[in-house]
C-alpha cells in the first residue's frame, strides 16, 4: 500500500462498489481515475479527477477550457520539477503509465504545467535545475556539483554565451546525475535537461548558433570587446 491521500481516498469506494466497478474506469493496465492539478497558460486552472487514459489534448480542451488568449500549446510538464517535459507531438498519447513509459516520458504525480508558444525551454530548464541546485542536501558530489554546473551552463546559454559542446556536457552531467546520485532528487534533476534536448534541441541551439531566444524570453548579453574585458 502506498500511503498517500489519493491512494487512501480510492479505498472506500472500491470496498463499497467492488474491484470490477473500479476497473470500469481507465485502461486495462492502469484502471481507475487520476487526480491532476492544471496550471499554466490555460483559461481554467484547478483540480480535476478523470479516468486514466485521457489525453492531454482532451484535458486542455475540456477541463482547462483551451489555451489562454487563443495561444498555441507548446509543452506540458508533469509531476512538478522532476516531471517530464511533454511536447505537443505527444498530446494525443493516452495518459496512463504504460503509454507514457512507451513514449519515453513519465506521468509523475499529476501536476500539469501547461505552457504556450511563448515559453522558452532554456529558461524553463534553468528554473527547474536551479530548484534542484538549491534543494540538494550536498551529501553526494554528483548532485551537489552536477546541478550547480548544469545551472551555470544553462545560464550561459540563456545569455547567448553558450557553445555547442555545452550540450554534450549537459548530457554527460545528466547521465552522471541519473546513475551516480544517492537519491531521487539528484536522479530526476536530469529529466528537464534530457527532455528539452530531445524534443526542442533546435530552440536550444538557436540560443548558441544565432545568439537569439526564439521566444524573446531570455536576455542576450553581448560579448565584451577585448578592451571591455
Quickly name the fold that domain 121-209 has. de novo design (two linked rop proteins) (1.20.1440)
Q: Which residue, among 125, 141, 89, 147, has the nearest Cα to 203 in the 3D structure? A: 125
Identify the burial level of 130 via C-beta atoms within 10 angstroms of its C-beta, where 0-12 means exposed, 13-18 middle and 19 or more buried: middle
Strand order in the sheet with 33-40: 46-51, 33-40, 111-116, 73-78, 85-87
Nearest one of 32, 42, 60, 52 to 100, comparing CA atoms: 52
Cβ atoms within 10 A of the Cβ of 17, count?
Answer: 11
At residue 75's C-alpha, the angle toward residues 176 and 133, to 5°, is: 35
Tell me the CATH class for 5-116. alpha beta
The domain limits of the chain are 5-116, 121-209
pLDDT in tens, 4-47: 888 889 999 999 999 999 999 999 999 999 999 999 999 999 99
Residue pair 26/51 in contact (Cβ under 8 Å)? The answer is: yes
The CA distance from 225 to 229, in Å, is 6
Tell me: pLDDT of 224 over 70. Answer: no
What was the pLDDT predicted at 2? 62
> Residue 228 has what pLDDT?
45
pLDDT at 226 over 90: no
Longest CA span, the chain = 77
pTM: 0.88
pLDDT digits (tens, 9 = 90+) for 135-184: 999 999 999 999 999 999 999 999 999 999 999 999 999 999 999 999 99
Could you give the angle at the alpha carbon of 40 between the alpha carbons of 150 and 107, nearest 5°? 65
Nearest-angstrom CA–CA distance, 128 and 203: 17
pLDDT band at 3 (very low <50, low <70, confident <90, very high): confident
Amino acid at each position: 500500500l502506498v500511503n498517500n491521500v489519493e491512494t487512501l481516498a480510492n479505498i472506500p469506494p472500491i470496498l463499497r462498489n467492488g474491484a470490477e466497478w473500479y476497473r470500469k474506469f481507465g485502461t486495462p493496465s492502469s484502471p481507475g481515475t487520476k487526480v491532476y492539478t492544471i496550471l499554466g497558460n490555460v483559461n481554467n486552472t484547478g483540480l480535476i479527477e478523470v479516468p486514466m487514459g485521457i489525453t492531454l489534448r482532451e484535458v486542455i480542451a475540456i477541463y482547462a477550457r483551451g489555451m489562454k488568449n487563443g495561444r498555441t500549446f507548446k509543452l506540458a510538464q508533469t509531476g512538478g520539477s522532476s516531471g517530464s517535459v511533454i511536447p505537443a507531438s505527444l498530446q494525443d498519447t493516452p495518459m496512463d503509465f504504460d503509454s507514457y513509459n512507451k513514449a519515453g516520458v513519465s506521468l509523475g504525480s499529476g501536476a500539469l504545467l501547461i505552457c504556450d508558444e511563448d515559453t522558452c525551454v532554456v529558461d524553463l530548464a534553468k528554473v527547474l535545475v536551479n530548484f534542484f541546485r538549491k534543494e540538494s542536501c550536498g551529501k553526494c558530489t554528483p548532485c551537489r556539483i552536477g546541478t550547480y554546473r548544469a545551472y551555470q551552463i544553462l545560464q550561459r546559454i540563456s545569455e547567448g554565451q553558450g557553445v555547442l559542446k555545452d550540450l554534450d556536457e549537459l548530457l554527460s552531467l545528466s547521465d552522471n546525475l541519473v546513475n551516480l546520485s544517492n537519491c531521487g532528487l539528484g536522479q530526476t534533476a536530469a529529466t528537464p535537461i534530457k527532455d528539452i534536448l530531445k524534443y526542442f534541441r533546435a530552440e536550444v541551439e538557436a540560443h548558441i548558433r544565432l545568439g537569439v531566444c526564439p521566444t524573446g524570453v531570455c536576455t542576450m548579453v553581448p560579448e565584451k570587446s577585448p578592451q571591455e574585458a
